[in-house]
Structure 1
Amino acid sequence: MTNGLFVGLVTLDLIYLAESAPKNNQKIVAIDYTVAAGGPATNAAVTFSHLGNQAQILGVVGSHPMTQLIRGDLANCQVAIADLDPSTNTALPVSSIIVTQSTGERAVVSINAVKTQASHTSIPPDILQNVDIVLIDGHQMVVSYDIALMAKAKNIPVIIDGGSWKTGFEQVLPFVDYAVCSANFYPPFCRTEQEVFAYLNAFKIPHIAITHGEKPIEYLSDSKTGFVDVPQTPAIDTLGAGDVFHGAFCHFILQESFTDALAQAANIAADSCRFFGTRRWMDSQ
């Protein structure tokens, strides 16, 4: 069985399906709702586990009462937790998400991991023992740097989920094998995608990809450029599709070429958009 370590954000997601997001001073009644553990690395870990692997999330969870919801959800998804701060009773970040029924687009309010940053001394010993692949989402950057450094020394592939630029990524990038970024990922002084590719390529990252939602994925791999098509699917909910994509990519890259792994991950992510919330798509698999 393949083992993956996912480093980053753990949140509690309150997800509502509604006709539209509320306007100022407006109250709306949701059509549906669900509660789940969230965060890019967390949802990627859930996807990786669902595809038949062993997944572990390395993040701050703690002992606040709301963590029972997170622990229960991740236990149900067979994702292990390596807690960077088990004694903290601070409330975890809560994300409130409204998904528009007609388009599948989402609006998100969250504080991310700003108040739950861990130090490198919190990393459990032997955390990389038997690990085959590492994904970093950038929300625990100090910890991520040490993990990336150790993974490189052990020849464990390192993937970054570049949803958006986060300060400190520049220290992690020298150890990255696969940079899989969104169109919103703009490092300092980068204004175009070509500048983003050039910036990442300067760190000698062998494989780089930029996703564009339902549009083709652009990639630079071993000096070769190209596009990978994304399946066109009627979207019920796009929430977490990027996270699902990254988790699926971690699964397929250990078996396939870079472009094939991107294509296979795109298939899984597109399928997840046909269902409300970040878990129900797995019931259809």
Structure 2
Amino acid sequence: MRQKSILGLFIGLITIDFIYQAKSVPRSNQKIVATDYAVAAGGPATNAAVAFSYWNRAKLTGVIGSHSLRNLIVADLETYQVIIEDLNPTQLEPPPVSSIIVTETTGERAVVSINAVKTQVTRDRIPEDILQGVDIVLIDGHQMAVGSAIAQQAKANHIPVVIDGGSWKPGFETVLPFVDYAVCSANFHPPGCKNTTEVFAYLTDIGIPHIAITQGENPIQYHVNGKYNSIAVPEVKAVDTLGAGDIFHGAFCHYILQASFPDALAAAARIAASSCEFFGTRRWMQQ
């Protein structure tokens, strides 16, 4: 049953994803026929918001605009009762589109996409009541000016801030001082960092109290209270790995409001692993 009093705010990239399942990725100048397909709203913050909505209420803040592709995004998000805060509803530019091919036998995905580089907005677009009723904030770094401003507000209001550190993006340094939980991938490399040891040191020096680095099917490494440890990731037969990290972050935001940092990481890992057993980014919610 949903705990409808809990509200999460998710800030960042909103795309439309066209997802195909196929026996293989096409070679140059080859046409292939997909064995399955799905259309869904996408992006790290978007998929995390949808995952969070499985248990709670979620608000997604980013840019969709007025292009006709908006209808596909809005219809999908409304299905999962995600509240949309469009920061530039009159934008004529189409929202970012991602084309994804998932290999049938391995669950690995190939992605062609564009990020939010053409849909950036400034902090003056943020509604004054953006944090009203919010219990947790997640920032994926694709709307950095907005994310930085909201992170500062959240910190001042004692609302926990999580970052999805999928990769380093310029401007993250303006967000990190206000972060409570840095949940990063192995591809997150701040300036001067070449390995996980250096990443942990960088984030610890900033003062972030809870840090985790995911490594796909390998154990999650984390640092809390001055100690390092790791958590095993459940083994599954992967059908589709698309969005697993995003789903992990959405689940983490749910569990961290009721459990310790290690327990929330472990619970989120179970949800993310389970999602890989289903094609697309939504079907795991229908089991």
Cα shift at 1:239: 0.2
2:160 to 157, 160, 167: 157
User: Where in structure 2 are the equivalents of 1:1-285 lying within 5 Å?
Assistant: 1-50=5-54, 52-284=55-287
- CA distance, structure 2, for counterparts of residue 112 and residue 22 of structure 1: 23
Cα shift at 1:22: 1.1
> Which secondary structure does the structure 1 equivalent of 2:230 belong to?
strand
- CA distance, structure 2, for counterparts of residue 267 and residue 110 of structure 1: 28
- CA distance, structure 2, for counterparts of residue 226 and residue 164 of structure 1: 22
Return the TM-score normalized by structure 1: 0.99
> Which secondary structure does the structure 1 equivalent of 2:155 belong to?
helix
- CA distance, structure 1, for counterparts of residue 80 and residue 70 of structure 2: 15
The runs of at least 4 consecutive aligned structure 1 residues that moved more than 4 Å come to none
- CA distance, structure 2, for counterparts of residue 80 and residue 129 of structure 1: 13
- CA distance, structure 1, for counterparts of residue 23 and residue 203 of structure 2: 40
- CA distance, structure 2, for counterparts of residue 222 and residue 108 of structure 1: 38
Q: Where do 5+ consecutive residues of structure 1 fail to align?
A: none
- CA distance, structure 2, for counterparts of residue 156 and residue 233 of structure 1: 34
Aligned residue-pair number: 283
- CA distance, structure 1, for counterparts of residue 140 and residue 225 of structure 2: 23
How large is the Cα RMSD of the aligned pairs?
Answer: 0.5
What's the % identity of the aligned pairs?
Answer: 66
Deviations 1:42-62 (A, max 9, x none): 000000001x21100000011
Return the TM-score normalized by structure 2: 0.98
Q: Where do 5+ consecutive residues of structure 2 fail to align?
A: none
Deviations 1:97-118 (A, max 9, x none): 0000110000111111010001
Deviations 1:193-232 (A, max 9, x none): 1001001111100000000111110000121110011100
> Which secondary structure does the structure 2 equivalent of 1:16 belong to?
strand
In structure 1, give the amino acid aligned to 2:142: H
